[in-house]
Chains A and B, each alone.
Chain A
């Protein structure tokens, strides 16, 4: 089993749609969780951290369920500029290492 698994993509949605990405992780000792965004052929960039109580940043909402070892990202009112690959990222308890999921590609169409 992969340490971090994400929904397979790609997700093709129209502008204005709401889209949700899911992710599961295997190491129950993990303490920190993130969503990164990666544009085509560029480096990943931090989109948002994920907190136990859930957190929101504008149109983006992240949720964490520790009992189920499940993380989600909800994007409301999708924009063309949201088209990218979204990476679910979990820290490895020792050494500060981050483990990346394989990514889910989002394509927002006019």
Chain B
């Protein structure tokens, strides 16, 4: 099925461990986004990539890095996980000329 695919769906990390969240879209969209969602906080933008080869910080970038590997893939890396990064992470993509997003199904991350 066409859309945005995130892996893994669930992950438990120990404090200080690192990991990369993967996101891929097969809709030929130009822009891709990483959000985190915490209870009562809505979705907050971590990083985004307006087009292949570019990345920019969003509202809450601290503790994260991103790579726009190619047009399809946009990964999010936690170098040294902290309990405050326990959250649900959503990747989204958007086609040029539209505003609405297509979201992946999310990665539920717990840092203990």
Contact = CB atoms under 8 A, between A and B. Distances in A.
Interface of A: 4, 32, 34, 41-46, 49, 87, 91, 95-103
Contacts, number: 50
A102 B40 contact: yes
Interface stretch (B17-25, B69-77, B97-105): B97-105
Interface stretch (B41-49, B60-68, B79-87): B41-49
A1 B56 CA distance: 23
B9 to A, nearest CB: 11
Contacts of A98: 33, 45, 99, 101
Contacts of B45: 97-99
Interface residues of B, number: 24
Nearest to B104: A43
A91 B42 contact: no
Given A87-B43, A91-B99, A97-B45, A42 B56 contact: no
Contacts of B35: 100
Contact of A42 (B44, B101, B106): B106
A98 B104 CA distance: 15
B100 A34 contact: yes
A44 B33 contact: no
A100 B42 contact: yes
A35 B35 CA distance: 17
A45 B104 CA distance: 10
Pick from A4, A46, A96, A99 the residue with the most CB of B within 10 Å.
Answer: A96
Given A4-B42, A46-B100, 12 more contacts: A32-B99, A34-B100, A41-B88, A41-B106, A43-B90, A46-B101, A95-B50, A96-B99, A99-B45, A100-B35, A102-B42, A103-B42
Contacts of B31: 96
A95 B90 CA distance: 18
A50 to B, nearest CB: 11
